[in-house]
Amino acid sequence: MTELAYVNGVFSPIAEAKVSIEDRGFQFGDGIYEVIAAYGGRPFLLDRHMLRLRRSAAAIRLNYDFDGQPLEPIIAEGLRRSLPSDDALVYVQLTRGACPRSHTIPEGLTPTVVMTFKPIPRIPEKLRQRGAKVITTRDPRWANCSIKAITLLPNVLARNEALRRGYDDAIFVTETDEVRECTSANLFIVEGAVLNTPPRTDSVLHGVTQGFLMECATAIGLTVQEQAFHVEMMQRAEEVFMSSTTVEVLGITSIDDRPIATGRVGPTTQRLHSEFQTRSRAALVGRVKL
């Protein structure tokens, strides 16, 4: 099982991959990214991830020729070289490119393309069974969180502060306690047969896994809605869970040291995770590897 990197046309072991010290991704966090799961060597929801990457590029005016220099064949080749039959995590990053450090963006820059191919990190079964214990924290991020930008310092600090204090993650909330999302995952609450997630405005990431999970929920008879809610409503919910490419579906059983309902992962959360796994793998059955 080989971990692999790709930088601007060259595949190499990760330790040997190099980018310029003057790359704007390093100097300014001037770039965007996607994280894609591949099950059995087949990328899952690749079209949706690539569409979001295009939207992020357009939002920051990063001029990459997605049609003339498509990324999909590179992803396919990376999977063939590294983890041809295993579950893998593909990280794709585009930066504006390298140039002398300046806030002004010069014309004609060639974007830097970086990818890594690694095994999917597995959520410990103990954590999945007991559910995550999280805290809320004030959201200090910029107003364009729908752009999947590599500038993630507030997320990193919030996550590590939660871990330092003995929790599994943090949930960003506004000054008025309106709930946004976790540090690297979207958020849902369950009330009866209704699944609610914060509105997919510019204030949150429009999750690819989140969107697929909403489809799964509808298919099993749940009502899905995007509606703002506050911390108090979340703490009173029957169930709370997060979703992302890496965690898929993970129950949250405690928020700010207050148990959610019984303090156990709820039946709807468990059913949705099972449904997600079934439908995600079924969607790839019979598909030829890229």
Which residues belong to the active site? 148
Q: Which residues pair with 169 in a beta bridge?
A: 134
What's the rounded Cα separation, in Å, for the pair 69 and 261?
A: 50
Backbone torsions φ then ψ of 99, nearest 5 degrees: -170, 165
- Give one word for 45, left, alpha or beta, with left for phi > 0 and alpha for psi -120 to 50: left
Distances (CA, A) of 217 to 31, 133, 155, 275: 33, 24, 28, 8
In the chain, the amino acid numbered 97 is G
Q: Phi first, then psi: give them for residue 221, nearest 5 degrees.
A: 95, 10
Count CB atoms within 10 A of the CB of residue 4. Answer: 21
